[in-house]
Amino acid sequence: MEMMDEWSATEEKIIPYSIRRLDYRDFKEYLKGFEEEKKGCLYGGVPGTTLWAYEDERDLIIGAVSIRHWLNEGLLKNGGHIGDGVRPSERRKGYATKMIALAINECKKLGIEKVLMVCSNKNIGSQKSILNNGGILENEIIAKNGSFDQRYWISVN
């Protein structure tokens, strides 16, 4: 709750979608949402898994990653396999790069050979984290809000 309260106070969009879509203050219902994600109820029939980044030493949730197990048309265009987010107070410390690397390992276990990640062309932090994990820019597309999203592919070895 502390992480979500911090993030909500910034009034920025919380990413990944799986952690913002339900009211986190109703923990029982919040947890049910992740069961729905596993069943494919969030991404047009595509199952997903949300993983949390947790730092033991400080007993602190750093952020989360959502992994979509395959891509449908919508995810291929502007969702990708992995969505990640780091709470505002923990950014620029290398956590996103590490979280993506760990998520790529999970994708490998799912049999995904190439991972698609999508971010805003204005989100320099996300771009760097993706590039640090071997991301190769394929193109930019117009997002739903009229801005531009960048689509990166990462080979899973």
Task: Answer for the pair 129, 100: CB distance below 8 angstroms, yes or no.
Answer: yes
**pLDDT confidence bin for 116, thresholds 50/70/90:** very high
> pLDDT at residue 146 above 90?
no
User: Does domain 2-155 match CATH 3.40.309.10?
Assistant: no
pLDDT recorded at residue 78: 84
Threshold 0.85, pTM exceeds: yes
Whole-angstrom distance, CA of residue 14 vs CA of residue 96: 14
Q: Are the beta carbons of 116 and 153 closer than 8 angstroms? A: yes
Is residue 78 within 8 A of residue 71, CB to CB? The reply is: no
DSSP label at 80? B
Instruction: Give per-residue burial for 116-150: e unless 16+ CB within 10 Å, then b.
Output: bbbbbeeeeebbebbeebbbeeeeeeeeeeeeebb
> What is the percent of the chain with per-residue pLDDT over 70, rounded to a whole number?
100
Instruction: Say which range, 13-17, 19-23, 40-44, 70-74, has the weakest mean pLDDT.
Output: 40-44
Helix H segments across the chain? 2-9, 17-20, 27-39, 73-78, 95-109, 124-132
Assign 108 to helix, strand or coil: helix
pLDDT of residue 67 exceeding 80, the answer is yes
How confident is the model at residue 71, as a pLDDT? Answer: 97
How high is the mean pLDDT of the chain? 94
| CB-based contacts of 23, cutoff 8 Å, min separation 6 | 29, 30
Is residue 144 over pLDDT 80?
no
